[in-house]
Structure 1
């Protein structure tokens, strides 16, 4: 273990650091501040207003809080690297970043699936909604969404720690799936476990979410316009977030798997996409599209100006 702690991985995905390091730092620092402040503001409004203590808003608050954790898995290290002469990370730290990044990402998919289930019960079974979505049920769903991915990722993280390292250079700017490129051999066991985890925390929740919303929209299509408006108003924001996050996951796989075929600058720009859009879009989507949250945001900022 002492040998492992002394092993440092060099992150070789950065481009033109000598020329643009302060520009990179300034832009990404401002983005990180906006992400933390915007997501935290909506979470604060949901937390402090009792009229928003309903399952739908509780899940939105959990999703935005998840965004802050998601961003914090890489932004602090990213900002430090921009100001450092050498972009290195201890291998143990690299495994931890890998573990946190995919654990929080998996929680995102599960939270979106939980939100889809909540909307399905609310719209399609309104009379049974209070009985199904009780406080105990909401707590259990939240705890499951946050604990299920890390419990599975822990197995993969342990296998990464035990793996023999032959390459001390990682062609990226943070520790994602590319961490396997530093191993001497990627075992079949690791590959199988990775596929199982991907199915459990990403593919199956995403399919469940899509299937659930499809049922809602089919029912809405067969109903009156009032029902259609209600379905669109509450479901469209969740679908936008799902599409945004799924797009980023596909990006992550592309960057990690075909890195050898991409120019360094293109790979750097593509990787930055993983950090920028999704955490910024979520508070905008929910802040503008959800009527009650939008109303409280306007009231908050108007009173602040006064």
Structure 2
């Protein structure tokens, strides 16, 4: 922003935007977001509780699923305060430092999800390509180490972001284009030299999304080769079926990211509502869909749910 003398400075607060061009019906939009949050939070808490209490689910695949559910809870809770205040209470102001904290957690959980999906693809690779060593390779200690490693990678790579933004001054207003804080959104209203932010942001994206997606693709290439080497068609279908839930989760996560990047680079004249809608899909759809996907597609999860609801009550 510019002060009275026309000098850029840091605003005390930033103004969030619900959905550009939509001034009425915000209460109904808020209700939709509340439903999405409820499905996401209840569904992921249900997955965590089910894996914790059901002994049949104490296996590597479901430990990784628990990590995914816990991370999806983090994604939902990171955006919830500002989204609900914007749409339900018509309060669209957020403190500058609070915005930086929210930005850090949103991006950290997003990059962590990418790492967890990679770990889950490696889990499927070991289970199908080397099943005899599955239990010995993926021990609880190694799974815990993988989870902590993924979190450490995300935290360390995203930690500089708030400080890189903090050093900037703002001269293009204080109005953001979303109901939550994102690094690219803050760059649009910052002035001065933002090359460091853009270069480091590109590095982080390549180092996380780029590397993770490449290894996920490699894992499934090797899995497909191993499955095609099996003579029995029944065994092929059984092996591929164990991967179906994970493939759906990967598509739910990466397709919106690719769509957002494509629109940002090749359709710069797109209406603001398109950019905002795709960003909302990217942040809200995977945490909501993942519990549904695994509940519908995974037989062990379905059995656990049925067992819970049909257990005798005293």
How far 1:157 moved relative to its partner?
A: 2.1
Q: Using a 3 Å threshold, how does the CA distance of structure 1 residues 135 and 60 change in structure 2: closer, same or farther?
A: same
Task: Please give the per-residue CA displacement for 1:122-168, whole angstroms capped at 9, x wherever unaligned.
Answer: 11112222332122211100111122112110112211111222231
Matched, 1:77 2:85: no
Q: Structure 2: how far apart are the matches of 1:246 and 1:147?
A: 21
Matched, 1:109 2:114: yes
State the partner residue of 1:205: 212
TM-score where L is the length of structure 1: 0.90
What SS does the aligned partner of 2:170 have?
A: coil
What SS does the aligned partner of 1:169 have?
A: coil
Q: Using a 3 Å threshold, how does the CA distance of structure 1 residues 236 and 80 change in structure 2: closer, same or farther?
A: same
Q: Using a 3 Å threshold, how does the CA distance of structure 1 residues 115 and 30 change in structure 2: closer, same or farther?
A: same
Q: Structure 1: how far apart are the matches of 2:224 and 2:129?
A: 10
| Partners of 1:170 and 1:179 within 8 A in 2 | yes
Q: Using a 3 Å threshold, how does the CA distance of structure 1 residues 252 and 175 change in structure 2: closer, same or farther?
A: farther
Q: Structure 1: how far apart are the matches of 2:82 and 2:313?
A: 35
Q: What stretches of structure 1 of length at least 5 have no aligned partner?
A: none
How far 1:87 moved relative to its partner?
A: 1.5
State the partner residue of 1:248: 256
What SS does the aligned partner of 2:24 have?
A: helix
What SS does the aligned partner of 1:9 have?
A: strand
| Backbone CA RMSD of aligned residues | 2.5
Q: Using a 3 Å threshold, how does the CA distance of structure 1 residues 285 and 85 change in structure 2: closer, same or farther?
A: closer
Q: Structure 2: how far apart are the matches of 1:127 and 1:268?
A: 47
Q: Using a 3 Å threshold, how does the CA distance of structure 1 residues 266 and 191 change in structure 2: closer, same or farther?
A: closer
Q: Structure 2: how far apart are the matches of 1:174 and 1:261?
A: 22
Of the three residues 222, 226, 238, the one matched with 1:215 is 222
Q: Using a 3 Å threshold, how does the CA distance of structure 1 residues 93 and 215 change in structure 2: closer, same or farther?
A: same
| Partners of 1:171 and 1:259 within 8 A in 2 | no
Q: Using a 3 Å threshold, how does the CA distance of structure 1 residues 161 and 286 change in structure 2: closer, same or farther?
A: same
Of the three residues 202, 215, 218, the one matched with 1:195 is 202
Of the three residues 87, 93, 105, the one matched with 2:92 is 87
| Partners of 2:9 and 2:170 within 8 A in 1 | no
Q: Structure 2: how far apart are the matches of 1:304 and 1:19?
A: 49
Decide which structure has greater helix share: 1
Task: Please give the per-residue CA displacement for 1:226-263, whole angstroms capped at 9, x wherever unaligned.
Answer: 43123212112111111110012224435666796232
Of the three residues 132, 136, 141, the one matched with 1:131 is 136
| Partners of 2:79 and 2:180 within 8 A in 1 | yes
| Partners of 2:45 and 2:69 within 8 A in 1 | yes
| Partners of 2:40 and 2:73 within 8 A in 1 | yes
State the partner residue of 1:154: 159
| Partners of 2:51 and 2:63 within 8 A in 1 | yes
How far 1:13 moved relative to its partner?
A: 4.8
Q: Structure 1: how far apart are the matches of 2:266 and 2:28?
A: 28
State the partner residue of 1:175: 181
State the partner residue of 1:237: 245
Q: Using a 3 Å threshold, how does the CA distance of structure 1 residues 100 and 140 change in structure 2: closer, same or farther?
A: same
| Partners of 2:37 and 2:288 within 8 A in 1 | no
| Partners of 1:255 and 1:271 within 8 A in 2 | no
Matched, 1:33 2:41: no
What is the total number of aligned residue pairs between the two structures?
A: 304
